[in-house]
Amino acid sequence: MSESSRVPVLVMLLFVMAVQLLALAVTPAILASDNRVFADPTSTSNPVVYMLLILAFTALLLLAIKKKKGWIVSGFIQLSIATSIYYLMVAFMPPLPALLPTAAVLLLLRYYPEWYVIDVFGIAVCAGISSLFGVSMTILPTLLLLIILAVYDALSVYKTRHMVSLAEGVIKIKAPLLFVVPRSRSYSFRKDQSSVSTPADGEAGGNQADLAGSNQTSGKRGAFFLGLGDAIIPTILVISAYTSLPADGFFGVNLPAIGAMLGTYLGFLLLMTTSRDRPQAGLPFLNFGVIFGFLVGCAVAGIAPF
DSSP for 177-229, please give it: -EEEEESSTT--GGG----SS--BTTBB-S----SS--B--BTTSSEEEEEHH
Q: What's the pLDDT score for residue 211?
A: 36
Percent of the chain having pLDDT more than 70? 87
- CA 231-234-237 angle, to 5 degrees, is 135
Q: How far is CA 66 from CA 72, 168, 294, in A?
A: 11, 11, 40
Indicate the range of 15-19, 190-194, 274-278, 287-291 predicted with least confidence: 274-278
Is 236 a member of any domain? yes
Indicate the range of 52-56, 202-206, 254-258 predicted with least confidence: 202-206
Radius of gyration of the CA atoms of the chain, in A:
18
CA distance 224 to 205: 6
In this predicted structure, the answer to whether residue 142 has a pLDDT above a threshold of 90 is: yes
Q: What is the mean pLDDT of the chain?
A: 83
Please write the tens of the pLDDT for every residue from 160-219: 877 777 777 777 777 788 898 888 878 888 877 654 443 333 233 333 333 333 343 334
Q: What's the pLDDT score for residue 204?
A: 30
Is 131 a member of any domain? yes
Indicate the range of 68-77, 154-163, 192-201 predicted with least confidence: 192-201
Q: Is the dihedral of CA 250, 253, 254, 258 positive or negative?
A: negative
Helix (H, G, I), strand (E, B) or coil at 296: helix
Is 306 a member of any domain? no
Per-residue pLDDT, averaged over 80-95, amounts to 85
Percent of the chain having pLDDT more than 90? 41
Higher-pLDDT residue of 283 and 160 is: 283
Per-residue pLDDT, averaged over 216-227, amounts to 64
Is 104 a member of any domain? yes
Is 53 a member of any domain? yes
Is 161 a member of any domain? yes
Per-residue pLDDT, averaged over 23-31, amounts to 92
Per-residue pLDDT, averaged over 259-285, amounts to 85
Is 39 a member of any domain? yes
In this predicted structure, the answer to whether residue 220 has a pLDDT above a threshold of 50 is: yes
Higher-pLDDT residue of 188 and 263 is: 263
Is 108 a member of any domain? yes
> Looking at the 3D structure of the chain, how many domains does it have?
1
User: What does DSSP assign to residue 178?
Assistant: E
Q: What's the pLDDT score for residue 45?
A: 93
Domain encompassing residue 273: 3-301
Per-residue pLDDT, averaged over 230-235, amounts to 95
Q: What's the pLDDT score for residue 306?
A: 79
